[in-house]
Amino acid sequence: MIKNDVIKDEPEAFDYPDRKNILVVSYITIRRAIGVSGLLLPLMLGPGGWLVGIPFQDNMSSYYHTGMRDIFVGTLSAIGIFLFCYRGYDRVENWTANLGCVSALGVALFPLDYNSDPLFQRSVTGYLHTFSGGVFFLTLAFYSLYHFPRDSQIEHEPHLRERAWIYQLSGIVILLSLVTMGGFLFVLSPEWKRMLNNYNFLFWMEWVAVWAFAAAWLAKGRAIIADIAVDMLAHSTALLTKQIRHTQTREQ
């Protein structure tokens, strides 16, 4: 895939999103759009579907076979397109975005077989869906753990330490969710799977992973709610550091 170049000769151009540069605003907007899409997807599928008479499904992919299909496919397709438009600082980040785009579209366009275990599909498209889902989450974890902390230093973001903590925590949560879902699919017996399916276990694990990546992208996009959280975290850290220094001074 080939992306339209976004010129970024000076890292300082990305210091703040309110600079009079439409390219910067677009760049920040893409990050926010990805974050908001991830934030809303589980809410629209789960509680939103329940409000219109659609029961909670075993996993998000199963909503493809309900009246929420358009929301499921549309939101993931939008995330894929946003990732396609997203340009990073080097080839690795560009290819990461491309891979995220392809995998998001794969999840959206290759449906999971109806009423099936993600590991045991009856069609090629079902297996493509499962594979795309795994790649998609791994791509987002890689963004949180590698690209975002590095890019924050390049862009001179405020409260670097706190933002890095949010990015890394988001990536770890995504990976832990994947490991948990993998244990459910590969390790548990059919009896345990059926029992946990009664509580929509995979759906809730996917919700956690999706909100983790949404938090990272909203923080990276400097959305208002994310910046408030970062500022509160930085303020708390500063107070704690001040208290520790005060205690050490008194002990001396």
Report the mean per-residue pLDDT for the chain.
Answer: 83
DSSP 8-state assignment for residue 222: T
pLDDT at 17: 41
Q: What is the mean pLDDT of residues 9-30?
A: 53
Q: How confident is the model at residue 2 (pLDDT cuts 50, 70, 90)?
A: very low
pLDDT at 165: 86
pLDDT at 12: 41
Report whether pLDDT(29) > 50: yes
Q: How confident is the model at residue 222 (pLDDT cuts 50, 70, 90)?
A: confident
Q: What is the mean pLDDT of residues 77-91?
A: 90
Phi/psi for 120 (5° steps) reads -125, 90
Please tell me the distance from the alpha carbon of residue 153 to that of residue 136, in angstroms, as a whole number: 25
Q: Which amino acid is located at 54 in the chain?
A: I
Phi/psi for 113 (5° steps) reads -60, 145
Compute the C-alpha angle 184/185/187, nearest 5°. Answer: 70
Lowest mean pLDDT among 61-65, 195-199, 218-222: 218-222
pLDDT at 16: 41
Residue whose pair of structure tokens reads 């974050």 in the numeric block: 35
Share of the chain above pLDDT 90, in %: 59
Q: Which whole-number Å values give the CA distances from 3 to 95, 170, 181, in the listed order?
A: 10, 27, 33
Please tell me the distance from the alpha carbon of residue 38 to that of residue 211, in angstroms, as a whole number: 6
Report whether pLDDT(143) > 60: yes
Share of the chain above pLDDT 70, in %: 75
Q: What is the mean pLDDT of residues 83-107?
A: 92
Q: Give 179-219 pLDDT, tens digit per residue.
A: 999 999 999 988 999 999 999 999 999 999 999 999 999 98
Please tell me the distance from the alpha carbon of residue 95 to that of residue 52, in angstroms, as a whole number: 39
Q: How confident is the model at residue 4 (pLDDT cuts 50, 70, 90)?
A: very low
Report whether pLDDT(130) > 70: yes
pLDDT at 237: 58
Report whether pLDDT(229) > 60: no
